[in-house]
Amino acid sequence: MPPPSVPSLLGTEFPFNFLHAEIIKYYIEKHEANKAKRAEFLESTRLSEDSQILESDRNVYNHFALRGNPETRIEALGYRVGYALVEKVARDIPRLSTELEKMKFICKDFWMAAFGNSNSAQFPPFQNIYVVQDNKFFTVASLAEGTQYLKEAAIYLAFPAGVVRGALANLGIKSVVQPTIETLPVVKFNVHLHKSV
Protein backbone atom coordinates (compact mmCIF):
# COMPACT_ATOMS: atom_id res chain seq x y z
CA MET A 1 0.00 0.00 0.00
CA PRO A 2 1.30 3.51 -0.66
CA PRO A 3 3.23 5.04 2.23
CA PRO A 4 1.32 7.65 4.20
CA SER A 5 2.06 11.18 3.22
CA VAL A 6 3.29 12.57 6.51
CA PRO A 7 6.31 14.85 6.20
CA SER A 8 9.51 13.00 7.02
CA LEU A 9 10.95 13.39 10.45
CA LEU A 10 14.40 14.40 9.27
CA GLY A 11 13.73 18.11 9.19
CA THR A 12 12.37 18.29 12.71
CA GLU A 13 14.44 15.64 14.43
CA PHE A 14 17.03 18.11 15.62
CA PRO A 15 14.78 20.52 17.55
CA PHE A 16 12.68 17.65 18.85
CA ASN A 17 15.68 16.03 20.50
CA PHE A 18 16.43 19.24 22.34
CA LEU A 19 12.83 19.73 23.41
CA HIS A 20 12.54 16.13 24.54
CA ALA A 21 15.70 16.36 26.60
CA GLU A 22 14.47 19.54 28.26
CA ILE A 23 11.09 17.97 29.02
CA ILE A 24 12.81 15.05 30.70
CA LYS A 25 15.08 17.34 32.66
CA TYR A 26 12.11 19.46 33.76
CA TYR A 27 10.10 16.52 35.04
CA ILE A 28 13.03 15.00 36.89
CA GLU A 29 13.83 18.30 38.57
CA LYS A 30 10.21 18.86 39.48
CA HIS A 31 10.04 15.41 40.97
CA GLU A 32 13.15 16.02 43.06
CA ALA A 33 11.83 19.37 44.24
CA ASN A 34 8.52 17.80 45.24
CA LYS A 35 10.31 15.07 47.14
CA ALA A 36 12.35 17.67 49.00
CA LYS A 37 9.24 19.66 49.86
CA ARG A 38 7.47 16.58 51.13
CA ALA A 39 10.41 15.62 53.32
CA GLU A 40 10.55 19.15 54.67
CA PHE A 41 6.84 19.12 55.46
CA LEU A 42 7.13 15.84 57.26
CA GLU A 43 10.07 17.12 59.27
CA SER A 44 8.27 20.27 60.28
CA THR A 45 5.16 18.46 61.42
CA ARG A 46 7.24 15.97 63.32
CA LEU A 47 9.14 18.63 65.17
CA SER A 48 6.23 20.91 65.91
CA GLU A 49 4.67 20.18 69.27
CA ASP A 50 1.04 20.76 68.42
CA SER A 51 0.67 18.14 65.82
CA GLN A 52 1.23 14.47 65.68
CA ILE A 53 1.20 12.26 62.72
CA LEU A 54 -1.30 9.54 63.21
CA GLU A 55 -1.37 6.50 61.06
CA SER A 56 -4.52 7.71 59.34
CA ASP A 57 -2.89 11.06 58.65
CA ARG A 58 0.02 9.35 57.06
CA ASN A 59 -2.19 7.57 54.59
CA VAL A 60 -4.01 10.74 53.63
CA TYR A 61 -0.74 12.56 53.35
CA ASN A 62 0.77 9.92 51.11
CA HIS A 63 -2.29 9.99 48.96
CA PHE A 64 -2.02 13.76 48.52
CA ALA A 65 1.67 13.88 48.06
CA LEU A 66 1.89 11.00 45.70
CA ARG A 67 2.60 12.49 42.35
CA GLY A 68 3.41 10.35 39.39
CA ASN A 69 7.07 9.85 38.79
CA PRO A 70 8.64 11.40 35.67
CA GLU A 71 8.36 8.24 33.59
CA THR A 72 4.61 8.01 34.08
CA ARG A 73 4.04 11.64 33.27
CA ILE A 74 6.14 11.63 30.17
CA GLU A 75 4.49 8.44 28.98
CA ALA A 76 1.12 10.12 29.44
CA LEU A 77 2.31 12.98 27.22
CA GLY A 78 3.28 10.43 24.62
CA TYR A 79 -0.15 8.80 24.82
CA ARG A 80 -1.94 11.94 23.70
CA VAL A 81 0.56 12.54 20.93
CA GLY A 82 0.30 8.98 19.66
CA TYR A 83 -3.48 9.13 19.74
CA ALA A 84 -3.57 12.17 17.49
CA LEU A 85 -0.68 11.09 15.29
CA VAL A 86 -2.19 7.78 14.34
CA GLU A 87 -5.37 9.52 13.17
CA LYS A 88 -3.27 11.51 10.71
CA VAL A 89 -1.12 8.62 9.56
CA ALA A 90 -4.00 6.18 9.16
CA ARG A 91 -6.08 8.61 7.17
CA ASP A 92 -5.57 7.43 3.64
CA ILE A 93 -4.95 3.76 4.01
CA PRO A 94 -7.55 1.06 3.52
CA ARG A 95 -9.33 -0.40 6.47
CA LEU A 96 -7.35 -2.41 9.03
CA SER A 97 -9.65 -5.11 10.23
CA THR A 98 -7.59 -7.60 12.16
CA GLU A 99 -5.28 -7.11 15.10
CA LEU A 100 -2.37 -8.44 13.08
CA GLU A 101 -2.96 -5.87 10.35
CA LYS A 102 -3.07 -3.12 12.94
CA MET A 103 0.19 -4.26 14.53
CA LYS A 104 1.80 -4.48 11.11
CA PHE A 105 0.63 -0.96 10.37
CA ILE A 106 2.10 0.28 13.63
CA CYS A 107 5.39 -1.47 13.06
CA LYS A 108 5.86 -0.33 9.48
CA ASP A 109 4.02 2.78 8.36
CA PHE A 110 3.39 4.38 11.72
CA TRP A 111 6.90 3.65 12.98
CA MET A 112 8.38 5.21 9.87
CA ALA A 113 6.21 8.29 10.17
CA ALA A 114 6.64 8.78 13.90
CA PHE A 115 10.19 7.67 14.57
CA GLY A 116 11.78 7.88 11.14
CA ASN A 117 13.18 4.41 11.30
CA SER A 118 12.36 0.98 10.16
CA ASN A 119 12.49 -1.66 12.76
CA SER A 120 14.10 -4.77 11.61
CA ALA A 121 12.20 -7.41 13.46
CA GLN A 122 8.64 -7.96 14.47
CA PHE A 123 8.60 -11.27 16.24
CA PRO A 124 5.47 -13.35 15.85
CA PRO A 125 3.32 -12.82 18.90
CA PHE A 126 3.88 -15.05 21.84
CA GLN A 127 0.70 -15.09 23.92
CA ASN A 128 -0.32 -11.58 22.95
CA ILE A 129 3.11 -10.05 23.39
CA TYR A 130 4.67 -8.48 20.31
CA VAL A 131 8.35 -7.63 20.47
CA VAL A 132 9.35 -4.79 18.20
CA GLN A 133 13.07 -4.26 17.82
CA ASP A 134 14.49 -1.01 16.49
CA ASN A 135 18.20 -1.07 15.80
CA LYS A 136 18.87 2.62 16.02
CA PHE A 137 16.17 4.27 18.04
CA PHE A 138 16.29 7.99 17.51
CA THR A 139 15.89 9.29 21.04
CA VAL A 140 18.90 7.34 22.25
CA ALA A 141 20.83 7.44 19.00
CA SER A 142 23.17 10.12 20.21
CA LEU A 143 24.14 8.35 23.42
CA ALA A 144 27.27 6.24 23.57
CA GLU A 145 26.94 2.84 22.00
CA GLY A 146 27.15 -0.11 24.27
CA THR A 147 26.03 -0.64 27.80
CA GLN A 148 27.43 2.36 29.55
CA TYR A 149 24.30 4.49 29.97
CA LEU A 150 21.55 1.93 30.25
CA LYS A 151 19.97 3.34 33.38
CA GLU A 152 20.00 6.93 32.21
CA ALA A 153 18.68 6.02 28.81
CA ALA A 154 15.59 4.34 30.22
CA ILE A 155 13.69 7.57 30.67
CA TYR A 156 14.34 8.57 27.07
CA LEU A 157 12.07 5.75 26.02
CA ALA A 158 9.08 6.76 28.10
CA PHE A 159 7.72 9.22 25.55
CA PRO A 160 7.95 6.86 22.57
CA ALA A 161 6.39 4.08 24.60
CA GLY A 162 3.48 6.40 25.28
CA VAL A 163 3.22 7.27 21.60
CA VAL A 164 2.89 3.61 20.67
CA ARG A 165 0.35 2.99 23.41
CA GLY A 166 -1.72 5.98 22.32
CA ALA A 167 -1.61 4.87 18.71
CA LEU A 168 -2.82 1.39 19.58
CA ALA A 169 -5.52 2.80 21.83
CA ASN A 170 -6.94 4.90 19.03
CA LEU A 171 -7.01 1.86 16.78
CA GLY A 172 -9.03 0.11 19.44
CA ILE A 173 -6.40 -2.04 21.14
CA LYS A 174 -5.64 -1.58 24.81
CA SER A 175 -2.05 -2.35 25.50
CA VAL A 176 0.90 -1.95 27.80
CA VAL A 177 4.17 -0.98 26.15
CA GLN A 178 7.44 -1.69 27.93
CA PRO A 179 10.68 -0.60 26.38
CA THR A 180 13.81 -2.54 27.20
CA ILE A 181 17.43 -1.93 26.27
CA GLU A 182 20.26 -4.39 26.28
CA THR A 183 22.81 -2.46 24.31
CA LEU A 184 22.34 1.03 22.99
CA PRO A 185 21.04 1.96 20.48
CA VAL A 186 19.10 -1.25 19.95
CA VAL A 187 15.76 -0.87 21.69
CA LYS A 188 13.07 -3.48 22.08
CA PHE A 189 9.48 -2.59 22.81
CA ASN A 190 7.38 -5.29 24.41
CA VAL A 191 3.79 -4.63 23.49
CA HIS A 192 1.33 -6.55 25.64
CA LEU A 193 -2.05 -6.53 24.00
CA HIS A 194 -5.14 -6.70 26.11
CA LYS A 195 -7.35 -9.41 24.70
CA SER A 196 -10.57 -7.67 23.73
CA VAL A 197 -12.63 -10.50 22.27
Partner 1 sequence: MLLCISILAADQPPLYFRCIPCDASRENDLRLFVYSSLDVFDEKATSSRPDQELFLGSLFLNNKFKSYGYLTNTQIKFLAVIDATNPTLKEQDLRALFKKVHQGYSAAICNPFYELGTPIQSRALNALVDNRVD
Q: Give me the residues that bind partner 1 (CB under 8 A), please.
A: 80, 83-84, 86-88, 90-91, 93-97, 170-172
For residue 172, the minimal CB distance to partner 1 (Å) is: 5
CA-CA distances (angstroms) from residue 68 to 24, 32, 93, 95, 121?
Answer: 14, 12, 37, 37, 33
For residue 158, the minimal CB distance to partner 1 (Å) is: 18
Helices (H), 48-170: 55-65, 70-89, 99-105, 111-115, 150-153, 158-170
Cβ closer to partner 1: 68 or 172?
172
SS3 126: strand
For residue 87, the minimal CB distance to partner 1 (Å) is: 4
Cβ closer to partner 1: 5 or 147?
5
Cβ closer to partner 1: 1 or 54?
1
CB 135 within 8 A of CB 119: yes
Cβ closer to partner 1: 23 or 84?
84
For residue 39, the minimal CB distance to partner 1 (Å) is: 34
CA distance 82 to 75: 10
Amino acid at 46: R
